[in-house]
Amino acid sequence: MHYNMTANPEQEPTLTDMTSSAIKLLSRQPEGFFLFVEGGKIDLAHHKTRAHRALDETLELARAVQAAVDLTDPDDTLIVVTADHAHTMSISGYPTRGNDIFGLAGTSNVDMLPLATLSYANGPGYKAPTATGRRYNISEDDMRK
C-alpha cells in the first residue's frame, strides 16, 4: 500500500477504514476477538528519513485508534498502543512559534548555513560535508516528502 498522504482514496482504504471494517466484522463473533493493527508505514517512512510521511502516518494511526475506541466498549475491550522501537528524528534548529515544522528554522551562528526544524541523526538523508569540510547546505532540499 502507498503512504496515506500519497494513496488514491478511490483505490486504497485508510488504516482507519480497515480498522473500522475489521472491528465491525469481528464483532459478530459472540466469543470475542483479538485484532492487531499496525501503523507500519510510520517505521518505513522513518527508515527513509521522510519526516512528513512519518508524521502523517502517525496521525492516521491515531485516527484508527480513535475508531477502535468509538466502536468498542471499554468494559470488555483492552486497547494497547505501543511502538516497537524509536528512530533518530529530532526537533532542532531552534524554531520560533508558528514555524513550518517541515521547513527551515533559522541559521547557524557558527557557519551561517540554514538549520532544519526536523532532522535525522542517521539514515539515507545524511549529507556529507563538502570537500572543504563545510556543512552541507540544506536550503535546496525538498523536506516536504
Per-residue pLDDT tens, the chain, 145 aa: give them: 999 999 999 999 999 999 999 999 999 999 999 999 999 999 999 999 899 999 999 999 999 999 999 999 999 999 999 998 888 888 876 788 888 888 888 888 899 999 888 888 777 777 788 899 898 888 878 777 6
- Phi first, then psi: give them for residue 44, nearest 5 degrees: -60, -40
- Rounded CA-CA distance 118/92 in Å is 6
Mark out the alpha helices in 9-113 (DSSP H runs).
15-26, 40-47, 51-71
Q: How many whole angstroms separate alpha carbon 53 and alpha carbon 120?
A: 14
User: How is the chain split into domains, by residue range?
Assistant: 1-85, 88-145
Contact 99, 116 (CB under 8 A): no
Q: Which residue has the cell 496521525?
A: 59
pTM of the model: 0.86
